[in-house]
Structure 1
Amino acid sequence: MRDTVIGIDIGATKIHMGIVNASRVIKDHVIPTSAKASKEQIIQEIIEGIEKLANDDFKGIGIGVPGLVNVEKGIIYDLWNIPSWKEVFLKDHLERYFNKPVKIINDANSFAMGEKKYGIGKDYSNFVGVSLGTGYGTGIIINNELYSGTLSGAGELANIPYLDKTIEDYCSGKFFRSHYGEEGSVLYKRAEEGDREALKAFDDFGKHLGESFKLILYVLAPEAIILGGSVSKAFRFFEGSLQERINSFPFKRITEKVKIVPSIVSDVSLLGPAALFDDDSAC
């Protein structure tokens, strides 16, 4: 199909890929990320995943990755959660193999772009997309355009020191494992059943997340903060404590206007990178 694109989201624990056509994911496939493997092995697993998912009838491959990216050359740098990926010429590898164009973007930027095109972000000229999963990523839309900075490094709040560690340690899935000894998905199920410890875990998480959002308000004062990633599914369990911390922000006229909402777009992690092949892909 001439308009079909392969969208790929490379994460620390899984690689999600799908066939995208007419802004819909018509087929998808998930493989575990061999995060401790060599860069060559991981590239080969991506190639095999694409071959399993699709035949040769697609126009390009769009990829979101959790780290620094030279967008023009398709070079990925220093993925913390995939140690062997210090400098990976992924665009060159895949273009040589498939003889198709490849475009690569930071995954949080991809999320923000997907929200701007297909989701709640349509309603805002200035917003920040925050992806809450294994890590903590932020994508920034200013005056309806993606702002990514040098090597897609803008908005990397995850590594800012916070308490005894970093924002990511307290505002991503890492928090639940380190402080409660459980995966966030397990605590989410327990919270749905009314488990007190699980509810407290999300309440604590919301407080920390609120502190990180106050930084976003100080620096960017966006109209909205849109949440994505696996942890955002538990929004109702941490919304109250999150809002409590936001309410302590000193500029009330800003907090009265900003909207904090979870994404309502399914598969935005695939739609975002696939949108790189849209004729109007610049937001």
Structure 2
Amino acid sequence: MTKKIIGIDLGGTSVKLAMISQEGEILEKWSIKTNVLDNGTHIVPDIISSIKDKLDLYQLTASDFIGIGMGSPGKVDAQAKTVVGAYNLGWSELQEVGKAFKEAFDLPFFIGNDANVAALGEQWKGAGQGNQNVVMFTLGTGVGGGIVVNGQLVTGEGGAAGEIGHLTVDTQYMTACTCGKKGCLEAVASATGIVNLTHRFSDNYEGESPIKKDIDNGDEVTSKAIFDAAKTGDLFANMVVDKFVDYLALAVSHIANTLSPSHIVIGGGVSAAGEFLREKIAQQALAYTFPQIRQTCQIVLAELGNDAGVIGAAQLVNTSR
């Protein structure tokens, strides 16, 4: 029987797990709740227990697998197999994740930052189409990223590479970012960022707009509502989206010009705006991009959805052992 891989995608509300073939086919997947009580001390034991239960159910042992891969929020040291600064998990202190898995399973264990691991999944089996040089922008509440060069994750010194969300793109308003810097991409081109832009521009807009009306009424406005309004021709919403796209396209062009990837993948919740958003980003980004790179770099939407993390975690095993 061909050996399999266990892939783990650790999130703030749930942990997704899967048994995956060495070719990237999901054979079995399940999830458990992320228990962040007591500073997240239950998280790793819960994952280990869930895996053991699943192995018992299918009468499998460690000998049926080649390794375990995991994507985690926070600053990940892939060599030491530790995580720190995953505050949504309660992990403000250093977590010896690899040590716990080594004690529980007689299997190689590999870990990476969750956004990096998702990029590896899209590069392997998603929008990257198996190409060797792929970068992913993950547009959610914040902006994450992952860089794959020659089929390998770029982690950089100390494991902090791929922090695309903290490229400085806003030098006019210098919007404050949660990282402590000002003008970060994350502050203006995330789900939170586009709402920030909407509030910023609403005071000076005098035309009719359902979105502006909601802002003036003090109603909550979401990124989805802004994109939906833009698609229907709301002039104010389109003005906001165009500014959002300009910031994002500038960052995309910097990545394209620096790394010359074959694909830049746009993923995360905001990417649900679909082709409407992708086309705008591509058009603007390519205008900022070195002419020769325009011919080789494609800007595409992510394809794997919620499976990117576990598939990428499996590929982390393939590429690391």
Give the TM-score normalised by the residue count of structure 2.
0.71
Deviates most, 31-40 or 149-158: 31-40
Name the CA distance, whole Å, in 2 between partners of 1:46 and 1:183: 33
Post-superposition CA distance 1:180-228 (Å, at most 9, x none): 64555x5499569948487776555433321221221343233321223
Residue in 1 that maps onto 2:26: 25
The correspondence for 2:288, drawn from 249, 252, 258, is 249
Partner of 1:276, secondary structure, is helix
Report if the CA contact (8 A) 1:63-1:105 is conserved. yes
Report if the CA contact (8 A) 1:204-1:241 is conserved. no
Report if the CA contact (8 A) 1:206-1:241 is conserved. yes
Pairing 1:172–2:183 present: no
Q: Which runs of 5+ in 2 are unaligned?
A: 177-183, 199-219
Pairing 1:274–2:292 present: no
Partner of 2:274, secondary structure, is helix
Residue in 1 that maps onto 2:264: 225
Report if the CA contact (8 A) 2:257-2:290 is conserved. no
Partner of 2:260, secondary structure, is coil
C-alpha displacement of 1:8? 1.2
- Structure 1's 238 and 37: CA in aligned 2 closer, same or farther, altered over 3 A? farther
Report if the CA contact (8 A) 2:227-2:273 is conserved. no
Residue in 1 that maps onto 2:76: 69
Q: How does 1:189-208 map to 2 (within 5 A)?
A: 190=228, 194=232, 196=234, 203-208=242-247
CA RMSD of aligned residues (A): 3.5
Pairing 1:234–2:287 present: no
Please identify the structure whose Cα radius of gyration is greater: 2
Q: How does 1:1-283 map to 2 (within 5 A)?
A: 3-21=3-21, 22-34=23-35, 38-50=39-51, 54-55=55-56, 57=60, 59=65, 60-122=67-129, 124-161=131-168, 162=170, 163-165=174-176, 166-176=184-194, 178=196, 181-182=220-221, 184=223, 187=225, 190=228, 194=232, 196=234, 203-249=242-288, 251-265=290-304, 267-278=307-318, 281-282=319-320
- Structure 1's 113 and 243: CA in aligned 2 closer, same or farther, altered over 3 A? closer
Name the CA distance, whole Å, in 2 between partners of 1:200 and 1:10: 36
C-alpha displacement of 1:88? 0.8
Deviates most, 67-76 or 43-52: 43-52
Name the CA distance, whole Å, in 2 between partners of 1:259 and 1:152: 27
Deviates most, 44-53 or 69-78: 44-53
Name the CA distance, whole Å, in 1 between partners of 2:97 and 2:91: 13
C-alpha displacement of 1:256? 4.2
Report if the CA contact (8 A) 1:224-1:258 is conserved. yes
C-alpha displacement of 1:123? 5.5
Give the TM-score normalised by the residue count of structure 1.
0.79
Number of residue pairs the alignment of both structures matches: 280
Higher strand share: 1
Report if the CA contact (8 A) 1:36-1:84 is conserved. no
Name the CA distance, whole Å, in 2 between partners of 1:49 and 1:202: 43
Report if the CA contact (8 A) 1:176-1:182 is conserved. no
Name the CA distance, whole Å, in 2 between partners of 1:103 and 1:96: 14
Partner of 1:121, secondary structure, is coil
Q: Percent of counterpart pairs with the same letter?
A: 26
Partner of 1:38, secondary structure, is helix
Residue in 1 that maps onto 2:181: none
Report if the CA contact (8 A) 2:175-2:188 is conserved. no
Name the CA distance, whole Å, in 1 between partners of 2:185 and 2:145: 12
